[in-house]
Structure 1
Amino acid sequence: MRQRKWAELSTPQRVGVVVGGAVQLALQAWVMRDLRRRTAAEVRGPRWAWAGAALVNPVGPLAYLAVGRRSAPRPPLE
């Protein structure tokens, strides 16, 4: 299958590529920001590994958001 050039794409296809890229960048930024703000105890596994996984489009960020985060500890009830 031959790869098509940007000029060969229809307008809806171009919009899809741009929107998909924007979503990917937003997910990566969200994951990186979240990793910086969480303590090591709030992340399942090493943070450096999740940061690397966030670069795998789009599986890495979605995997981190689904399984990489632990919920923050809640204060005990009185």
Structure 2
Amino acid sequence: MKLNDIEGSFSSISEDEKVSIDTMAKLYAERIRRNIPQVVFAKKIGMKQPQLAKLEMLDSVPTLATLNRYAKGLGLKLEIDLVSA
């Protein structure tokens, strides 16, 4: 797959979905930074490892509840903020 292909498919994603994807990417990066193995983290947040792998590979857009569950597993909390459009 080429960068242009990825950019083209990403442009068809809604802004709401982009926020969810960006948040998931940040959470995933934090898990990696902390060197927490996927299998250990999956168990901690009550998921099976293959389920967590699919989530981290963004096979689907994560829900707010899923993002919150992941964040809590890292000892973090999600905050939603309002800003002028």
Pairwise TM-score range, normalised by the shorter structure: 0.3 to 0.5
Bigger Rg, structure 1 or 2: 1
TM-score, normalised by the number of residues in structure 1: 0.44
TM-score, normalised by the number of residues in structure 2: 0.42
Greater relative contact order (Cα 8 A, min sep 6): structure 1 or 2? 2
